[in-house]
Chains A and B, each alone.
Chain A
Amino acid sequence: MAALPPLFQNWFAAKGWRLRPHQAAMLTAAAAGADALLIAPTGAGKTLAGFLPSLIALSARPSPGLHTLYVSPLKALGTDIARNLQAPAAEMGLEIGIETRSGDTPANRRARQRQAPPHILLTTPESLLLLLSQENAGAYFASLAAVVVDEIHALAGTKRGDQLALCLARLRTLSATRVAGLSATVAHPEALRRYVGPAARLIRAEDGAPPEVRLALPEADIPWSGHMGLRAAGLVLERLAQAGMSIVFVNTRAQAELLFAAIWKLNEDNLPIAIHHGSLDIAQRRKVEAAMAAGRLRAVIATSSLDLGIDWGGVDQVLQIGAPKGVSRLLQRLGRANHRLDEPSRAILVPANRFEVLECEAAIEGVREKALDGDPPRPGGLDVLAQHMLGMAVAAPFRPDDLYREVTAAAPYAELSRRDFDDVLRFVEDGGYALAGYERYRRLFRDSQGYVHPANERVARQFRFNIGTIVEAPMIRLRLAGRRGGAGAHLGEVEEYFVNQLTPGDSFIFAGRVLRFLRLRETVAEVVEAPGREPKVPAYAGARMPLTTNLAARVRAMLHDPSRWGAFPAQVQEWLDLQRRRSRLPGPDGLLVESFPREGRWYLVVYAFEGRNAHQTLGLLLTRRMERAGQAPLGFVASDYVLAIWSARRPERIAELLREDMLGDDLEEWMETSSLLRRTFRQVAVVAGLIPRQLPGAERSRRQVTVNSDLIYDVLRKHQPDHVLLRATRADAAHGLIDLARIAALLRRARGRITHMALSRVSPLAVPVLLDIGRERVEGEAEEALLEEARALAAEAAAEEGQGSDFNHGPAAPNMLFQPP
């Protein structure tokens, strides 16, 4: 076991600490120059374990030059860690330069950092790529001895993680650095270990005290449906009053707003309770975080915007309102409370409906068994690779063979074929289009020795401008209209599609106030406060994450086994019992499908338990098939648990409808036109550098000349369907919005084991999803039908009005516009 140098021994002794085994193991790995992945719960001294080897090395010989690079997903984390490192360095009298670098770092400090790097530099994946694309990157990183990647579990498996993996591969080319990854407990530790390095050591800290998680329900009836949990406002307020400081996690921004409003209606003692989500103005979010850190707040209602972040120490309890969605996610959130290892974190789950009661119980069981979930890592994105290649060319000319070797050393790209690599390179060079005469517009050129260079200075500028893998949906800024039309305060941003749903005069809740929408001016939506109005439910949900496979399997298993119902409230037990008598209970294997007539329609309910995204896709595919079978489907709604389709005729031959060949031609045909693919393409095209990032505040009136990614997608799909960006789009969508893998798994599981219950009326388990009808927006595919309906309605209305129209054409009435030929 590695021994601490005397200086550090004394410092540990002065603090009353001793070296923990995992910290010692990290020291040993570092001494051997080995990569290492440390998996440890919060409060285990993870950060110190990561930095200790560097601090010791730097205390012995503080030569100039960059020694250690720290990368984390959050800028704020870097700033916080820098502060925490200054303290031991000062206490031990170490002369170590510690600095942060991010997009916010002032230009003069960035310039100085380029000339005279600190010993320890704390940064983000994006800033790291920017540094690596500088011409002097080779000299800058030559002295690098260690890279510490914090919260590595939150990066690996995402596009940012792909980008970071490529950067790590480059750092290993430029220096002899080792890599230390710091992670929370994960479902796939071996995959994460490979992400750190092929020979990385896996070091696990002892687990802390197990968390105490309990279910809490309001005394009234347990709702059949709904996801907001507003009825629990009183209960939540009670719990907040009993604890020092709490974080109340919810699932969507809309839920955060509504719950915040509901709690404040009851908050007669004026407990200081704040709200935090990704749409709020950044300055306001920082203010809330500062107030939390200073202990001035009793609670904050937050979305995933607070899943990661700096330690606040003083948080006593975490509440989760609504479905936890996954065990890993729940554990991440629980970890935000009580950062002391020997004391349990305390959490309360508040389900918003009956299915969520099952889900919460399943999640509590999952937490107890430490059954983490999460998808195994998927292959690295080709769009990310394109961005990286451009950056590497900007840094220094490269030979494709060398870069291929380097790139495939990064775990997400280990299986990358040379064909894909070459296609991406051709895309970066000249677009990779199968059309002669386009080469003159190349971004890169090859010299006689086969080195690839950027074509001109503009290429480097465009690269720096487009760096990063997070593509936000187009956003609209919200501004209070000042008096006499002047500009008022800036409140934050909402997705453009949300504003598109509003008509002037509509009210919605934002930042805890009721606002009325006035008008859209360029990229700014003007609003006024409208207290006391009944708000339209805000729909700026952001990405809703689907229920994980692991948790879904647990819910199915619990549901099927009455001996495990003991934990459920009586109402839920009665509900399940009624389902068992009236129909069947969905089982751990196979697939339960029910059909029944109701109010002149037929309903088909598929208990698939594969999450919303997969159910949406399944709904679109299944309705196509029913259409062809003459069953006249009329619509569908998807929840995390089930899919319900209604039709004019009786659904029949269910097993045939659900055959696996659904994922063949039907899928191809649908993917051709799906708006989901267009949305995915836009992100891929931005990351790959095909279309520039949308600048905040870009002029709206210039839209008519700016190019629309949907149109590019259509043209490309028609003329070069195998283009590398379309391949990247399909791969992305299959893992994300379309969730093909889960549908494939479901259809496999169901083959030959479909139980079809033909019922005479709605079953108890089907009630919640039927109540969702009308509340859920279906991803619109049938625009033509909707337009025809709107046109017919308008024509009907106009006909009743008679002659009240605006102008006349020709000799007759306004209808002359549609005179038959």
Chain B
Amino acid sequence: MTAAPLHFRNERLMLDPSGAAFWPARRVLMVADLHLETGTAHAARGALLPPYDTRATLERLTRLLRLYRPARLLALGDSFHDAGGPARLAREDRARIEALGREAQFIWVAGNHDAAPHDLPGQCVAEHREGPFTFRHEARLELGPREIEISGHFHPKASIESRAKRISRPCFVAGPNRLILPAFGSLTGGLDVREPPIARLFPRGLRVFLLGQDQLYSFALEQLGRLPEVA
């Protein structure tokens, strides 16, 4: 796995091909949109999806914690698929989160799927500010003059015209003053970065980092599949 460095002013972030980002200076690991308990949320509505998504997501998270040894883990909202998620955690999965909570301090930023605080280790906050960064779930259209925002929410993905076919992958989206993380959850779909909800956040252009098996693939907006336009 090769992480790619990304610079905001004098701060360096390492983008990991798993979809997480690490801030070495402060030893902060960040992930967005874990969507834990997606399986049971659907099961409760009658679609018996496999219940292994929480376990799969936590296993990937555990590997990252072993790799980066962060002091803090920032979950950028929608950590659970719905408000009932924390209560539906299987006993082993809850124990796993509690064990991880002893290795790093958890900061749970509230999302639109999981706005209410819960009883898991760490603190539940609406937003988190640290250094030049504001961490929140959903990006704001207007940012303060010196503000740099790191968010999730959109599950961004992008597609590339390769020689043989169009390839679509989840991705990081970076602009001059903001970064959007891809969803880290195991059953999460995505929204194309060219769709207006994401595109309008980057009036001065954007760069995407597509998640690959062992590395990221970086492209500028205009290198993606051409934007459809009415002739």
On A, residues with C-beta under 8 Å from B are: 427, 430-431, 433, 435-438, 441, 443, 458-459, 462, 481, 485, 500-501, 503-505, 516-520, 526, 528, 690-692, 701, 703-708, 711-712, 714-716, 718-720, 723, 777-778, 780, 783-784, 786-791, 794, 797-798, 805-810, 816-821
- Give A798 to B204 CA distance when docked, in angstroms: 17
**A784 engages B50 (CB within 8 Å):** no
Q: Chain B, 7-25, contact with A by CB distance < 8 Å: what is the 0/1 string?
A: 1110000100000000000
**Chain B 32-54 interface 0/1 with A at a Cβ cutoff of 8 Å (1 = within):** 00000010101110111111110
Partner of B160, one of A703, A714, A790, A808: A790
Main secondary structure of the interface of A (DSSP, over half): mixed
Contacts of A786 in B (CB 8 A): 162-165, 167
Contact B90 A485 (CB under 8 A): no
- Residues from chain B with a CB closer than 8 A to the CB of A503 are 161, 225-226
**Which single member of A435, A459, A692, A784 contacts B90 (CB below 8 Å)?**
A435
B229 touches A501 (CB 8 A): no
Tell me the minimal C-beta distance from A628 to chain B in angstroms: 19
Q: Report yes or no: A712 in contact with B50, Cβ–Cβ below 8 A.
A: yes
- State the B residues within 8 Å of A (CB): 4-9, 14, 38, 40, 42-44, 46-53, 55-56, 90-91, 154-155, 159-167, 169, 174-176, 183, 186-191, 195, 204-207, 210, 212-213, 217-223, 225-231
Q: Quick one: which of B7, B55, B164, B191 contacts A701, CB cutoff 8 A?
A: B191
Among the listed B40, B162, B204, B227, which residue makes an inter-chain contact with A789, where contact means beta carbons less than 8 Å apart? B162
Besides A438-B51, A501-B165, A504-B231, 17 more A-B contacts (Cβ < 8 Å) are A431-B48, A438-B40, A443-B46, A485-B230, A504-B226, A504-B227, A691-B49, A705-B189, A707-B42, A715-B50, A718-B56, A787-B210, A787-B212, A806-B221, A809-B7, A809-B8, A817-B4
CB of B155 within 8 A of CB of A704, answer: yes
Judging by beta carbons under 8 Å apart, are B217 and A788 in contact?
A: yes
Residues of B within 8 A of A462 (CB): 46-47
Taking a contact as CB atoms under 8 Å apart, the answer to whether B231 and A704 are in contact is no
Q: Is the CB of A505 within 8 A of B231?
A: yes
- A704→B230 contact, CB < 8 A: no
**Given contacts A520-B228, A786-B162, is CB(A716)–CB(B189) below 8 Å?**
no
Q: Are A719 and B50 in contact (CB under 8 A)?
A: yes
CB pair A791–B220 under 8 Å, yes or no, is no
Residues from chain A with Cβ under 8 Å of B52 in the complex: 433, 435, 715-716, 718-720
Chain A residues with CB under 8 Å of B5's CB are 818-821
Question: Would B48 and A437 count as touching, CB distance under 8 A?
Answer: no
Separation in Å of the B4 CB from the closest CB of chain A?
Answer: 7
Inside 8 A of A718's CB, which chain B residues have their CB? 52, 56
Can you name 5 A-B residue pairings with CB atoms under 8 Å? Answer: A441-B48, A517-B228, A704-B191, A787-B169, A817-B4
CB <8 Å contact, A712 and B49: yes
A711 touches B9 (CB 8 A): no
Q: Contact at A441–B229, with CB atoms within 8 Å?
A: no
Q: Is the CB of A789 within 8 A of B231?
A: no
Residues of chain B within 8 A of A783, CB atoms compared: 162, 167
Which residue of chain A has the shortest Cβ distance to B221 in the bound complex? A806
Q: A691 — which chain B residues lie within 8 A by C-beta?
A: 47, 49
A159 to B186, CA, bound (A): 31
Inter-chain contact B212/A784, CB cutoff 8 Å: yes
Q: Which of A505, A704, A714, A716 meets B190, CB within 8 Å?
A: A704
